[in-house]
């Protein structure tokens, strides 16, 4: 890689971090949906250990913390997100039992059998659904739960434009029955599955994103990288509005029973 490319690449990376730092969440979801998923988890006490993998700035982690007891570790690759996460935890008075740490979901700093619950909204795709399910299982206690959201196809067939988009972005996207089979094969009992309602995308993700897009265009006026980045964000939103019958995010809650 030439130095010139490296500079552009690093700028992209910092830019994307800065962009998403301005948002409460970095993916589709909502407090209502987080609590709905939590409703299927029945084993939590003051002694519980919870990990939120790919926690971002901790939107969903703080919701979880306010409705559970026990200790929660949020883990994310990006230090800027973790700084914001820990600031949010302090602001809410949760700092004694909610801690953000920098780390990677493919090399977790937990003991085998340590965790009662693994949470991960809109993030398992970073290492892949099957790989995450398989590799994370050892960190759970028997009787522990995993709750993740993942993009899913709603039909067996779909228009070529949206099919191509996803094959390029994340070819592991699959139909819900196939994803449930993967949960079963990875050694969990599938406990619940539900589709995230549209407002998790529109109201809780795209609307705040548009506000940051406008702010960015203003702040970085004339910057081609920023303009291209913002164009891609709008394109993603357009595709969702056009093809939301065919795909969406799904919450999967599963239990390690042996």
| Other C-beta atoms lying within 10 Å of the C-beta of residue 9 | 11
Query: Which one of residues 19, 81, 153, 252 is an interface residue with ligand SAH (CB under 6 A)?
Result: 81
Determine contact, residues 60/119, Cβ cutoff 8 Å.
Answer: yes
- DSSP for 57-118? T-HHHHHHHHT--SEEEEEES-HHHHHHHHHHHHHTT-TTTEEEEE--TTS----TT-EEEE
Cβ proximity to ligand SAH: between 78 and 252 the closer is 78
- How remote is the C-alpha of 232 from its chain's centroid? 19
Instruction: Output the smallest distance, CB 4 to ligand SAH, in A.
Output: 26
* Interface positions, 102-131, toward ligand SAH (CB under 6 A): 104-106, 121-123, 126
Question: Looking at 19, 27, 116, 188, which residue binds ligand SAH (CB under 6 A)?
Answer: 27
Q: Which is nearer to ligand SAH, 65 or 75 (CB)?
A: 75
CB of 39 to ligand SAH, least distance (A): 18
Q: Extract the tokens encoding 87.
A: 């600031």
- Tokens representing residue 3 in the block: 């130095």
Q: How far is the CB of 107 from ligand SAH (least distance, A)?
A: 8
Nearer to ligand SAH, 116 or 121 (CB): 121
74 binds ligand SAH (CB under 6 A): no
How far is the C-alpha of 77 from the C-alpha of 17, rounded, in Å? Answer: 11
Contacts of 242 (CB under 8 A, 6+ apart): 162
Among 73-81, 135-143, 154-162, 168-176, which window interacts with ligand SAH (CB under 6 A)? 73-81
Q: How far apart are CA 206 and CA 203, in angstroms?
A: 6
Residue 121 CB, shortest distance to ligand SAH, in Å, is 4
Examine residue 29 and tell whether it contacts ligand SAH (CB under 6 A).
yes
Q: What is the CA radius of gyration of the chain?
A: 18
Virtual torsion, Cα 16, 18, 19, 22, nearest 10 deg? 150
CB closer to ligand SAH out of 106 and 236:
106
Asked whether position 25 contacts ligand SAH by CB under 6 A, the answer is yes
**Near ligand SAH by CB under 6 A, which window of 54-62, 109-117, 133-141, 222-230?**
54-62
Does position 55 interact with ligand SAH (CB under 6 A)? The reply is: yes
Residue with Cβ nearer ligand SAH (17 or 158): 17
Decide if residue 150 touches ligand SAH (CB under 6 A). Answer: no
If residue 152 lies in a helix (H) or strand (E), which one and from where to where? Answer: strand 140-153
Residues that bind ligand SAH (CB under 6 A): 25-27, 29, 54-56, 59-60, 75-78, 81, 104-106, 121-123, 126
């Amino acid at each position: 890689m030439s130095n010139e490319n490296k500079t552009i690449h690093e700028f992209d990376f910092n830019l994307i971090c800065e962009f998403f730092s301005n948002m409460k969440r970095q993916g589709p979801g909502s407090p209502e949906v987080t609590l709905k998923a939590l409703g299927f988890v029945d084993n939590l006490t003051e002694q519980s250990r919870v990990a939120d993998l790919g926690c971002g700035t901790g939107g969903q982690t703080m919701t979880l913390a306010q409705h559970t007891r026990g200790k929660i570790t949020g883990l994310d690759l990006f230090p800027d997100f973790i700084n914001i996460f820990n600031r949010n935890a302090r602001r809410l008075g949760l700092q004694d039992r909610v801690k953000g740490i920098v780390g990677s979901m493919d090399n977790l700093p937990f003991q085998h059998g340590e965790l009662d619950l693994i949470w991960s909204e809109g993030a398992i795709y970073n290492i892949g659904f099957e790989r995450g399910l398989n590799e994370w299982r050892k960190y759970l206690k028997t009787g522990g739960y995993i709750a993740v959201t993942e993009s899913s196809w709603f039909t067996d067939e779909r228009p070529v434009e949206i099919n191509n988009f996803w094959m390029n972005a994340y070819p592991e996207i699959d139909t819900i029955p196939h994803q449930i089979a993967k949960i079963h094969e990875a050694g969990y009992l599938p406990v619940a599955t539900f589709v995230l309602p549209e407002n998790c995308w529109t109201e809780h993700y795209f609307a705040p994103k548009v506000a940051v897009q406008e702010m960015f265009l203003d702040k970085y006026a004339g910057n081609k990288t920023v303009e291209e980045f913002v164009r891609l964000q709008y394109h993603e939103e357009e595709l969702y509005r056009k093809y939301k019958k065919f795909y969406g995010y799904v919450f999967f809650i599963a239990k390690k029973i042996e």
